[in-house]
Amino acid sequence: MPSPKAKNPGRSGGSPVLGSSNGRYEFMSLTKPLNRSSPPHLLQRQGSDPTTARLRASESPTRRRGSGSSTGSASGQGPPEEDALSSLLAIDLWLSKQLGVCACEDSSWGSVRPLMKLLEISGHGIPWLAGTAYCLYKSDSAAGQEVMLNLFMGLLLDLILVGIVKAVVRRRRPAHNRMDMFATFSVDRYSFPSGHATRAAMCGRFLLAHLVLAAPLRVLVLLWVGLVGLSRVMLGRHNVTDVMFGFWMGYCQYNLVEMLWLSPQTLQGLLGQSA
């Protein structure tokens, strides 16, 4: 004859274990997880028990988040942030491939590829370093030497910062790019950011700020900056985001050059202290 208590399974928030030898109730501990190997009839009774409901409600937020992420991974759905990033990257790759009209000679705009490569050389670091060093050597005024010296230091800073970012990000160049670039180095096999874009943006701001140029020449400087960035995408060297980030990085690099500006007197003082 079962005990009268067996007719009230919800008493004291417990759940009875049917078929026990002494016919008494055995209560689950709130800190003990549910045993999935229990008999099906016990799992059903435990799932509808108030104690089990309180146990589920008392789970930590971390555990609930972990179980939710596991469910999302099992169903193939990632977090919304990852989905948005993947969509933006897909758009970037698609747009870059559509604009790479000069990537090969047989491309739709393959006939203008030599002009694009000329723009590529005009934004390369070696011609800029060599030309700035020559102007610094030939300059006969203190103001001219000061300007050329800081431009030379800015170009060196650009090479260092772009090399660091490329080595850290390590983004491959577009698949439709032909590796026939002028004077490449080890980090030049990476795409992000565009060194030509950073250099063009920094040098463009520098020339507009420190050289007295007529209005048509100022327009030409701005046009050159834009065409250098456009040529990187048309030649298939970079993706659109590589060039856009490069422009922003070069714009900020000029601010850093202004902060670290070296005058001839400062340079002489540094050389005197080191001697």
pLDDT tens digits for range 160-188: 999 999 999 999 988 888 877 777 777 88
Q: What is the dihedral of CA 80, 84, 90, 94, to 10 degrees?
A: 150
Report yes or no on 145 lying in a domain.
yes
Is the same domain home to 177 and 263? yes
Higher pLDDT, 4 or 200: 200
Quick check: pTM over 0.75? no
Q: Yes or no: say if 260 and 153 are a contact pair by the CB < 8 Å rule.
A: yes
Report yes or no on 178 lying in a domain.
yes
Is the same domain home to 182 and 59? no
Which residues are marked as active site? 196, 238
pLDDT level of residue 253 (50, 70, 90 thresholds): very high
Q: Yes or no: say if 182 and 120 are a contact pair by the CB < 8 Å rule.
A: yes
- Which of 99, 130, 160 corresponds to the end of one domain? 99
Is the same domain home to 245 and 167? yes
Higher pLDDT, 189 or 159: 159
Report yes or no on 229 lying in a domain.
yes
Report yes or no on 5 lying in a domain.
no
Please tell me what DSSP assigns to residue 108: T
**Tokens 């170009």 found at:** 155
Q: According to the model, what pLDDT value does residue 178 have?
A: 81
Number of domains in the chain: 2
Q: According to the model, what pLDDT value does residue 7 have?
A: 44
Q: Which residue, 188, 173, 165, is CA-closest to 237?
A: 173
Q: Is the peptide bond before 16 cis (omega within 30 degrees of 0)?
A: no
pLDDT level of residue 194 (50, 70, 90 thresholds): very high
Report yes or no on 153 lying in a domain.
yes
Higher pLDDT, 227 or 89: 227
Is the same domain home to 117 and 92? no
Supply the range of the domain harboring residue 89.
12-99
Is the same domain home to 123 and 76? no
pLDDT tens digits for range 105-156: 877 887 888 899 999 999 998 999 999 999 989 888 888 889 999 999 999 9
Helices (H), the chain: 40-47, 50-57, 61-74, 80-99, 113-122, 125-138, 142-169, 195-210, 215-234, 240-259, 264-274
Report yes or no on 51 lying in a domain.
yes
- Which of 99, 132, 154 corresponds to the end of one domain? 99
CB neighbour list of residue 145: distance below 8 Å, 6 or more residues apart = 136, 139, 264
Q: Yes or no: say if 191 and 172 are a contact pair by the CB < 8 Å rule.
A: yes
Report yes or no on 6 lying in a domain.
no
